[in-house]
Amino acid sequence: MRIHCLGGGLVGLFVTQRLVNSGFEVHLYDIVNRDTDAIFHHGDALGFSHDEAQLIINMLPGSLGSKATEMLKDSGQRIVDLSFSEETPDRLQNVNSSILWDVGIAPGLSNMLVAMALREFGSLDSVSIKVGGNPQQPDGNWSYMAPFSPHDVIAEYTRPARVIQNGKQVEVAAMTELHSIDANGRNMEAFLTDGLRSLLNLPAKKMGEYTVRWPGHIQKYQQTDLTPDQLVEAWRLDSSKKEFTWMEVHITSGSEQRKWIIEDGGMNGDSSMARTTGLVTSCCAIAWAEHPDLLSPGVHAPEDLPDDVIQSIIEVMRSEGVSIVLQ
């Protein structure tokens, strides 16, 4: 089977290698030269023909990724969209392709866990998702390194956060509801960002997603005079520094509750965010490659995946050393 991967950043390279190791014919397209075992095509990913691909994985950043999915919506192909663009694929009309979007750690696995709870309980009272990728230790400066496109991180900090309050969708300013949390023994801070996306369509009384950072990081951002390009440089990933990704998904329904804690510290040179995001993405791609009828033509959120696929993703992540605990 021929799979085209668009974008070879940290996550893109990880996903590409997983698919190569799984025996697929993988083609990677990137404007930056990449060291990869896939068949590499150097140049603008949107400038190539992808007609021969049986599955396309869009891992381009932000608005570029949105453009790619829009270009491919009429191709009739299977498309996995990990671009995390502000303009989401569910806005597209007359889609002939089958598009599965937002299949990372959050959004992605978080959505799947919420969807499983909804199918189990029948209704949701509250959903709280807290997630972040950060250095293992604060450094007295930014205490942060951007594990994916820094401009997309800035967009999280600036665009209004859509949340559910009293059963209705409302917009609040990003970075509000700042509060201290315990992240597996670490004193950190969480604040609202616009990460619910397709989850906003599920019935719930209260729902919000919070970004997790070391204390002082977001206050420094709120006071900085640095331009976005300067922030990109300040937040550049330093592979010599240990980092981790942590997520808590807490769901309540009446007297029932589910609390999932996910944590990873990276392994074998791959960052925790590349692993936690890329494992979900590659698992979705492999499941869809093995079961072409998994999803019908149209646009599908992670919540649309059946429970057995979600459970298999959890099992693969655990087998790869990601800690996933249901409390």
Q: Count the neighbouring beta carbons within 10 Å of the beta carbon of residue 238.
A: 11
pLDDT band for position 32 (cuts 50, 70, 90): very high
| Domain assignment of residue 44, given as a range | 2-103+277-326
pLDDT tens-place string over residues 302-316: 999 999 999 999 999
pLDDT band for position 40 (cuts 50, 70, 90): very high
What is the rounded average pLDDT of the residues 36-55? 97
Q: What is the pTM of this model?
A: 0.95
Is the pLDDT score of 147 beyond 80?
no
Q: Is 220 exposed, middle or buried (0-12, 13-18, 19+ CB in 10 A)?
A: middle
- The DSSP-derived string for 91-159 is G--S--SEEEE--BBTTBHHHHHHHHHHHHHS--SEEEEEEEEEESS--SS-----SS-HHHHHHHHHS
Residue 30 one-letter amino acid: D
pLDDT band for position 234 (cuts 50, 70, 90): very high
pLDDT reported for residue 149:
72
Q: What does pLDDT average to over the chain?
A: 95
> Taking a C-beta distance cutoff of 8 angstroms, is the pair 88, 198 a contact?
yes
> Distance (Å, rounded) from C-alpha 294 to C-alpha 309?
10
Task: Report the CATH number that the domain containing residue 140 is assigned in CATH.
Answer: 3.30.360.10
Task: Report the CATH number that the domain containing residue 285 is assigned in CATH.
Answer: 3.40.50.720
**Residue 254 parent element (H or E):** none
Report which of 87, 95, 135 is spatially closest to residue 246, judged by C-alpha positions: 135
Specify the number of domains making up the chain.
Answer: 2
* In a shared domain, residues 258 and 292: no
pLDDT band for position 284 (cuts 50, 70, 90): very high
pLDDT tens-place string over residues 124-146: 999 999 999 999 999 989 999 98
* In a shared domain, residues 265 and 118: yes
